[in-house]
Amino acid sequence: MMWRAGRLFLAATTLVACGNTPPVPDWQMSAKGALERAQQAYLVGNSRVELAEFAKARAEVASTGRVDLLARLELSRCATRVASLVLEECAGYHMLVADAPAPERAYAAYLRGRGTPQEAALLPQQHRAVAGAPAGAAAPDLTGIADPLARLVAAAVLLQTGRADPSTLGVAVDTASAQGWRRPLLAWLGVQAHRAQQAGDTEQASRIRRRIDLVGELR
């Protein structure tokens, strides 16, 4: 399986139609495009567009009757929320959990910060270092995770498990900022400001809050 956080399809189902390669079914192309638009809309703060595009993606995938792909789609949606520190039950996936395959179960547990080292091998490659570390281990360097959404998800998992250090927060803020993803940027700046305030660094906390106000003005 070759998920990036928020990517739906197996390598085997994203073949380019050429030569003797069978053409990609229309539902796959339509679902992939709708999912990507839904994710982008959510991350920039456009909930209305996200709802509409995700409904399209879900309808396309549901037409196959494949629980594994539908579970993966729902988890892809939840990944954008986890990246934005909306840490709640993945309701759409929960309805499918009874029939979800082991990799999807492992990814769902990982998103909630409940993954185990034993399940790490079932996860996409970019998440294994975070999931496979023993309890109490130092936070790994997330800059090696190429996909920005996967990087934010990994940072959120570290936060949920109490392993997110200042470097983790900095990487998350920089990642969201570089992508122009307003929703996670505001969430991670909020965490930074809170920690600065707790540490008694009122100057730093004030600087971060001014940045939060700047991002908020763009809504």
Whether the model pTM is above 0.75: yes
Which secondary structure element, helix H or strand E, spans residue 209, and what is its range? helix 202-217
Q: Give the whole-angstrom CA distance, residue 176 versus residue 43.
A: 9
Q: What is the pLDDT of residues 32-79, one digit of tens each?
A: 999 999 999 999 999 999 999 999 999 999 999 999 999 999 999 999
In the chain, where are the structural domains located?
A: 11-217
Q: What is the pLDDT of residues 101-157, one digit of tens each?
A: 999 999 999 999 998 888 899 998 888 888 877 666 778 889 999 999 999 999 999
What confidence score (pLDDT) does residue 16 get? 36
Cβ-count burial of 65 within 10 angstroms (0-12 exposed, 13-18 middle, 19+ buried)? exposed
What confidence score (pLDDT) does residue 15 get? 31
| CA end-to-end distance (rounded Å), the chain | 37
What confidence score (pLDDT) does residue 205 get? 97
Instruction: Please report how the helices 182-198 and 148-160 are oriented relative to each other, as an axis angle in degrees rounded to 10.
Output: 30
Q: Give the whole-angstrom CA distance, residue 54 versus residue 58.
A: 6
